Amino acid sequence: MNDYRAVLLRGGTVLPMDGSRSVLTDTDVLVIDDRVAAVGSGLAAPEGALVVDATDGIVMPGMIDTHRHMWQTAMRGYGADWTLTQYFVWYYLDHGTLFRPEDIHAGNTLAAIEALDAGVTTVVDWSHGLRTVDHADAAVDALEAIPGRHVLAYGNIQQPPAQWTGAPEFRDFVNRRITGDDLLGFQLAFDVTGDPAFPEKPAFEVARDLGVPVTTHAGVWGATSDDGIRLMHEHGFMTEQTIYVHAASLTADSYHRIAATGGSISVSTESEQSAGQGYPPTWAIRAHGIPVSLSMDTSVWWSGDLFSAMRTTLGADRSREHLSAHAQDETVTHCSLRADQVVEWATRGGAAALGRPDLGSLATGGKADVVLIKNDDSPVSFPLLNPYGHVAFQAQRGDVHTVLVNGRVVKHNHKLVDIDLKSARRAVESTVEHLRGTMGEDAWQRGMNPDVPETKVLDNPYTYTDYRSAATHRH
């Protein structure tokens, strides 16, 4: 399956994501080696090519997630009822330190497989559990073993950034493992506390020295604020490559600084809605003209696909627009955020954030990271009237039929190709066993089930006979 030199996706509805937001019906996409060779009608299949019938399907570029803590996928779903408070206690103070290199490997492996399955062909692994270089080697071993495109955003929440970025073994790791492979990018990942002494300065200098971008959780309620942005700006560390994650509780001053220096914001709407970093900021970002990409943050809470990110981002933006209009006794008659915009953020937006104009579109000559959404057995697959709306609101990961990364077929006919899911499962089970066993059952259960605050039920001025009688019985 992976030996095809050419792949022809025949007769699909193609979203080229070339900036025009056009829709090409009954169109072929030809991939040769690692590139998109042609997009057009009636293209001839080269000898020996894999021909995929894309009729009734949507062909689009692979999606790009610019912020995912892949190691945490080993604990999928555990934190469903968390806020940031429980998250910080778990990963920063207590149990994040229990992750061994093999646990990072297990989480990264499963996350990388999960991404491919959902048509997410590029993931920034915001890897802040790298307590030692052995952990970092394990992270990269996992990323290299799965045929997705990854950017290792190296981080270590257990040490100040100046300390771990200054360690000789860190430099040695960069020299050994970051070799310019097109499928493995590199960034530094750390947060800026806002301490006026700006202790993160040496870490920014390391990034500058290495010539790599910095990604940082900015505008996280209770954790990072305008002070961090101001310090970065005053010291000249805000660049076009900087990715600000969340940026959800910042004032206009910070947005002005981000816009003026050309960086982008990674919006994690599902995360911001549950965890409490601030309201998903697309409404504010729009007003400042800042480029956007999408991310899903961590599978410890949320789903690892960008369909849900697109859907929830549209919902949050529109919900806020209606709510603020209603507060002024006004009516929103036209939504500001459109379906084609979130599809663009999930593809071209991510590529722009990563400085990769060869990704995120189906332009001829670009890298062949391609997704076919097609599910003939699904009643949700037709009629296909509004393809951008279909991707954002109708499609889901089970509809991802075929995925190519760098021209290689990694999923076909709804099945992952050459992926050992059984061994990924065994590894994650052994990580869960380790964490659960080390913490003890009681701490494990309490971590998963935070206390629910008491709700005061308001007095109701209305009465209803049957209801009251039922209520009397209850009390």
Binding site residues, Zn ion, CB under 5 A = 297
| 3-state class (DSSP) for residue 61 | strand
Task: Pick the closer one to Zn ion by CB: 128 or 135.
Answer: 128
Cα 475 from Cα 460, distance rounded (Å): 16
Say if residue 93 is exposed, middle or buried (CB neighbours under 10 Å; 0-12, 13-18, 19+): exposed
If the CB atoms of residues 200 and 297 are measured against Zn ion, the closer one turns out to be 297
The tokens 């991939």 sit on which residue? Answer: 31
68 bridge partner residues:
125, 297
Q: How many CB atoms lie within 10 A of CB 134?
A: 15
With a CB cutoff of 8 Å and minimum separation 6, the contacts of 381 are 56, 57, 374, 375, 399
Nearest distance, CB of residue 211 and Zn ion, angstroms: 24
Instruction: List Cα–Cα distances, 261 to 202, 236, 286, 292, 352, in angstroms.
Output: 20, 9, 16, 14, 14
Closer CB to Zn ion, 28 or 297, in the complex: 297
> Considering the complex, what minimum distance in angstroms separates the CB of residue 113 from Zn ion?
20
**Between helices 101-117 and 421-439, what is the axis angle to 10°?**
140
- The residues with which 264 forms a beta bridge, in sequence order, are 243
What is the smallest separation between the CB atom of 265 and Zn ion, expressed in angstroms? 13
Closest approach of Cβ 246 to Zn ion, in Å? 7
> Please, what is the minimum distance in Å from the beta carbon of residue 129 to Zn ion?
12
CB of 295 to Zn ion, least distance (A): 8
Q: 312 vs 375, which CB is nearer to Zn ion?
A: 312
Cross-strand pairs, 416: 411
* Pick from 44, 36, 10, 38: nearest CA to 25: 10
Question: Taking a C-beta distance cutoff of 8 angstroms, is the pair 17, 377 a contact?
Answer: no
Helix, strand, coil % in the chain, rounded to nearest 5: 40, 20, 40
Give the shortest CB-143-to-Zn ion separation in angstroms: 18
With respect to Zn ion, which residue has the nearer C-beta, 297 or 344?
297
- Kindly tell me which of 297 and 369 has the beta carbon lying closer to Zn ion: 297
* Closer residue to Zn ion, CB minimum distance, 167 or 223: 223
CB distance 445 to 104 below 8 Å = no
The beta-strand segments (E) located in 112-201 are: 120-127, 149-154, 184-189
Between 297 and 340, name the residue whose CB sits nearer to Zn ion: 297
**Distance between alpha carbon 247 and the CA centroid of its chain, in Å?**
15
Q: How far is residue 122 from each of residues 110, 347, 390, measured CA to CA in Å?
A: 15, 10, 22
Q: How far is the CB of 80 from Zn ion (least distance, A)?
A: 16
Residue closer to Zn ion (CB basis): 77 or 440: 77
| Cβ nearer to Zn ion, comparing 226 with 297 | 297
E strand intervals along 253-298: 264-267, 292-294
Closest approach, Cβ 296 to Zn ion, in A, equals 10
Q: How far is the CB of 65 from Zn ion (least distance, A)?
A: 11
Contact 107, 71 (CB under 8 A): yes
Tokens in use for 340?
């084609």
Q: What's the closest the beta carbon of residue 245 comes to Zn ion, in angstroms?
A: 6
Q: What H or E segment, with its residue span, contains residue 307?
A: helix 306-327
- Give yes or no for a contact between 396 and 58, defined as CB atoms under 8 angstroms apart: no
Which residue's CB is nearer to Zn ion, number 276 or number 387? Answer: 276
